[in-house]
């Protein structure tokens, strides 16, 4: 049987039609810490003529916990938009390895003239320490051994540091409703929310979640509206606003159960400039209707009156549900531009006067919002980090989306995986305290006009670069499926935690000097290592140094 196998780095992208000659073999010995994870892939390639596919059985023998998933290709019809750098894998449509499918029974099929890979996630728990062997065996259908390998894993006697980083990927309820076909806030919806929140926390390290107390005014055409997903019941009777937060209470209980530590309130004004109000459904004297929306200007007196009643009541309710002011974030408007600074400032002053000790965060690019004191906690786009001093970046948040495409990190399918993973080290270096991305599960076209099948359209209907709209796929049994990009991002967050562990022993300056030494220069968001060996060297350097001191 003309099957070839190779154990390779998790950062490799194994394309279905390119074989394995360019893939770098993984060293046979790796290092981990306690409470850590290590990832790699088993690449395979079927050569020569064959009448039919080969069914193979994977056997894994290891005392540590090992998860195996097949990496499947999906269509990247829009690899990039506009002018990009030379680091893209492709600028024309291609099949990108991305979808992760659990390999629960160990069986996988290899087809002639096709290559693929199996992704391994090795987990070490607090009690793990010392040397472990991970033995891999691949057998044919008749039991013949096609491949075998042994990976030596050394778990150092020191614990991986805590993340210590706010992490949100915006969770879109209307995507779940549209894809799975249940009614909003039906029991099926609630059960699905519970699964997805737990998955977001456990498999994606999300600890902050966008909570639809009203329908978030995101990616919505002017004059249009997205499906109503409002948690709060709002009443207006004889000029007085009252609220029922029973659905919000249930939501918060699910968040607590999932391990979600922080709540994000949706933007209180429309996207790209805060011109109007979000869609808010109100029961007014027994008549349920859109009381606020595109037809109401942002600074409308009635809307401000509503906010003065709603925000204090919401904060009080969240506090009683276990989320005090230190764990609640508000938004004003997403991605305001420099020309909209005065309008944004007026809306921000209103919000600041109402939110008490809660923090206000917004994704923005203009440095002026910060220097004028309008945005005290900006979420800085990674292609504008250079506009901020290193000291200004410390304690702030960072984000990227479809607009950040030249030189800087991103998670597009057409970028090498290292361009996604490096975010962990860069966020540590710059002292960022939070990371935001707009698309955990956006399964619509641009401006949310039509639903898409994410297995067919990875680009929001040829709108955003493939990989930008979502991080996970809607799987069977109303549960998510991971992506190669998510697993690489998780490894990047482990890099962040490795550096935290190192800092706890040696101080921040020593950790920064370690990064400088491994990179050979001071990294920036436009100049950083993209070779697989950098990340392995970082892991070995930290684990080796910490173990010597134990």
Task: Provide the token pair at 255.
Answer: 């968040």
Q: Is the pTM of this model over 0.95?
A: yes
Task: Provide the token pair at 290.
Answer: 């859109």
pLDDT at 97: 98
Nearest to 195 by CA among 399, 403, 469, 476: 476
Rounded to 10 degrees, the C-alpha dihedral 416/417/422/427 comes to 110
Rounded to whole angstroms, how far apart are CA atoms 470 and 374? 31
Q: For the chain, give me the number of helices (H) and strands (E)? A: 12, 25
3-state secondary structure (DSSP) of residue 486? helix
3-state secondary structure (DSSP) of residue 425? helix
Match 């894994």 to its residue by tokens.
60
Q: Chunked in runs of 10, what are the mean pLDDT values of the chain (550 residues)? A: 92 93 94 97 86 90 98 98 96 98 94 94 95 97 96 95 96 98 98 98 98 98 97 97 98 98 98 97 97 98 98 98 98 95 98 98 95 97 97 98 97 98 98 98 97 98 98 97 98 98 96 98 98 96 84
Rounded to whole angstroms, how far apart are CA atoms 284 and 538? 60
3-state secondary structure 158-221: EECCCCCCEEEECCCHHHHHHHHCCCCCCHHHHHHHHHHHHHHHHHHCCCEEECCCCCCCCCCC
pLDDT at 512: 98
Please give the distance of CA 474 from its chain centroid, rounded to a whole number: 15
**In the CATH scheme, what is the code of domain 3-159?**
2.60.40.10
Residue-wise pLDDT tens digits, 239-272: 999 999 999 999 999 999 999 999 999 999 999 9
pLDDT at 546: 85
Cβ contacts of residue 59 below 8 Å, gap of 6+? 106, 135, 136, 137, 138, 139
pLDDT at 51: 65
Nearest to 153 by CA among 132, 136, 135: 132
Q: List, edge to edge, every strand of the sheet that includes 166-169.
A: 166-169, 434-437, 397-399, 378-381, 362-364
Phi and psi of 254, rounded to 5°?
-65, -40
Asked if 14 and 82 touch (Cβ cutoff 8 Å), the reply is no
Burial of 105 (0-12, 13-18, 19+ CB in 10 A): exposed
Asked if 152 and 131 touch (Cβ cutoff 8 Å), the reply is yes
Quote the DSSP letter at residue 85: -
pLDDT at 357: 97
Rounded to whole angstroms, how far apart are CA atoms 253 and 194? 10
Q: What residues does CATH 3.20.20 cover in the chain?
A: 166-221+250-268+299-497
pLDDT at 2: 85
- ∠ CA 406-410-414 to the nearest 5 degrees? 80
Asked if 275 and 337 touch (Cβ cutoff 8 Å), the reply is no
Rounded to whole angstroms, how far apart are CA atoms 203 and 490? 8
Other C-beta atoms lying within 10 Å of the C-beta of residue 94: 18
500-533 residues labelled b (16+ CB within 10 A) or e (exposed): bbbbeebeeeebbebbeebbeeebebeebbbebe
pLDDT at 50: 65
Asked if 513 and 430 touch (Cβ cutoff 8 Å), the reply is no
- In words, the CATH class of domain 166-221+250-268+299-497 is alpha beta
Rounded to whole angstroms, how far apart are CA atoms 196 and 452? 19
Task: Provide the token pair at 92.
Answer: 């024309």
3-state secondary structure (DSSP) of residue 373? coil
Rounded to 10 degrees, the C-alpha dihedral 261/265/266/269 comes to -150
Strands, E, within 79-127: which ranges?
A: 94-102, 107-110, 115-124
Q: What residues does CATH 2.60.40.10 cover in the chain?
A: 3-159
DSSP 270-317: -TTT--BPPPEEEEETTEEEEEESTTSBTT-HHHHHHHHHHHHHHHHH
């Amino acid at each position: 049987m003309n099957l070839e196998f190779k154990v390779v780095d998790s950062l490799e992208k194994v394309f279905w039609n390119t074989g394995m000659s360019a893939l770098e073999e993984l060293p046979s010995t790796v290092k981990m810490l306690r409470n850590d994870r290590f990832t790699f892939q088993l690449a395979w390639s079927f050569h020569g003529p064959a009448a039919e596919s080969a069914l193979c059985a994977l056997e894994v023998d290891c005392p540590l916990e090992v998860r195996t998933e097949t990496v499947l290709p999906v269509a990247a019809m829009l690899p990039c938009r506009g002018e990009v750098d030379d680091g893209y894998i492709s600028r024309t449509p291609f099949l990108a390895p991305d979808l992760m499918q659990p390999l629960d029974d160990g069986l996988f099929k290899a087809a002639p003239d096709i290559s693929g890979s199996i992704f391994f996630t090795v987990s070490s728990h607090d009690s793990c320490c010392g040397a472990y062997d991970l033995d891999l065996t691949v057998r044919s259908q008749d039991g013949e051994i096609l491949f075998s390998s042994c990976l030596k894993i050394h778990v150092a006697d020191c614990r991986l540091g805590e993340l210590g980083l706010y992490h949100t990927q915006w969770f879109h309820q209307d995507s779940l409703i549209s894809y799975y076909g249940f009614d909003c806030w039906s029991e099926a919806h609630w059960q699905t929310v519970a699964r997805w929140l737990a998955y977001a926390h456990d498999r994606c390290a999300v600890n902050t979640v966008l909570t639809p107390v009203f329908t978030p005014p995101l990616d919505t055409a002017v004059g249009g509206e997205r499906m109503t997903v409002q948690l709060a019941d709002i009443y207006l009777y004889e000029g007085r606003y009252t609220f029922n937060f029973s659905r919000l209470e249930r939501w918060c209980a699910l968040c607590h159960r999932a391990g979600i530590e922080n709540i994000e309130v949706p933007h209180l004004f429309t996207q790209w400039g805060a011109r109007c109000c979000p869609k808010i459904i109100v029961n007014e004297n027994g008549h349920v209707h859109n009381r606020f929306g595109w037809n109401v200007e942002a600074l409308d007196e009635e809307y401000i009156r509503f906010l003065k009643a709603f925000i204090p009541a919401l904060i009080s309710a969240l506090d009683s549900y276990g989320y005090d002011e230190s764990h609640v974030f508000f938004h004003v408007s997403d991605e305001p531009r420099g020309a909209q600074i005065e309008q944004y400032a007026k809306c921000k002053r209103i919000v600041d006067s109402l939110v008490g000790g809660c923090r206000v965060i917004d994704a923005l690019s203009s440095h002026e919002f910060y220097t004028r004191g309008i945005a005290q906690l900006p979420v800085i786009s990674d292609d504008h980090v250079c506009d901020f001093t290193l000291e200004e970046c410390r304690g702030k948040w960072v984000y990227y989306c479809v607009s950040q495409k030249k030189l800087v990190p991103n998670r597009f399918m057409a970028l090498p995986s290292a361009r996604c993973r490096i975010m962990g080290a860069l966020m540590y270096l710059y002292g960022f305290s939070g990371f935001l991305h707009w698309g955990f599960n956006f399964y619509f076209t641009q401006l949310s006009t039509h639903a898409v099948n994410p297995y067919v359209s990875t680009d929001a209907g040829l709108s955003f670069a493939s990989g930008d709209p979502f991080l996970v796929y809607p799987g069977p049994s109303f549960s998510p499926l991971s992506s190669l990009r998510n697993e690489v991002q998780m490894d990047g967050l482990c890099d962040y935690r490795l550096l935290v562990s190192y800092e706890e022993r040696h101080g921040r300056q020593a950790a920064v000097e370690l990064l400088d030494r491994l990179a050979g220069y001071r990294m920036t968001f436009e100049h950083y290592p993209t070779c697989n060996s950098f990340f392995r060297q970082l892991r070995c350097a930290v684990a080796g140094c910490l173990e010597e001191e134990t």
